[in-house]
Amino acid sequence: MSRITILDPTAQPPDVDADPGPPLGAMDAARVGVRYDLTWRSFDWVRDEWAAMLRKEGGSVTQWCAGDRTGEEAEATLGDLRNFVADREVLISGLGN
């Protein structure tokens, strides 16, 4: 009688990074900027939740809505963006997708 080998297709669990990141107190007085645009409206709820959590941890949160990125208004948007990020220590720019 022949023998067969049954393979287990499940992957090994990923290594867990034991470093939890900066301590919660690291947000004290941090200037946080949240950049968003009007293309994905569901992000409005996400950024409101994040802003509330960041403020709870002591961060100072400012939100900025990006304008047009083409045509005549693109230069104004780029200038506004440069001003927005100039004095921020942390910047969240959309969800990165």
Domain extents in the chain: 27-93
Which CATH code of 3.40.50, 1.20.120, 3.30.450, 1.10.3470 fits the domain covering 27-93? 3.40.50
The token duo for 26 is 């690291």
Give the pLDDT of residue 24.
Answer: 63
Query: What string of DSSP letters covers 78-92?
Result: HHHHHHHHHT-SEEE
Q: How much is the pLDDT for 95?
A: 64
DSSP one-letter string for the chain: ---------PPPPPPPP----S-GGGGTT-EEEEEE-SS-TTHHHHHHHHHHHHHHTT-EEEEEE---SSGGGHHHHHHHHHHHHHT-SEEEETT--
**pTM value > 0.75:** no
**pLDDT tens, N- to C-terminus, the chain (97 residues):** 788 888 888 888 888 888 877 776 677 788 999 998 888 778 888 889 989 999 988 899 999 998 888 888 999 999 999 999 998 988 988 665 4
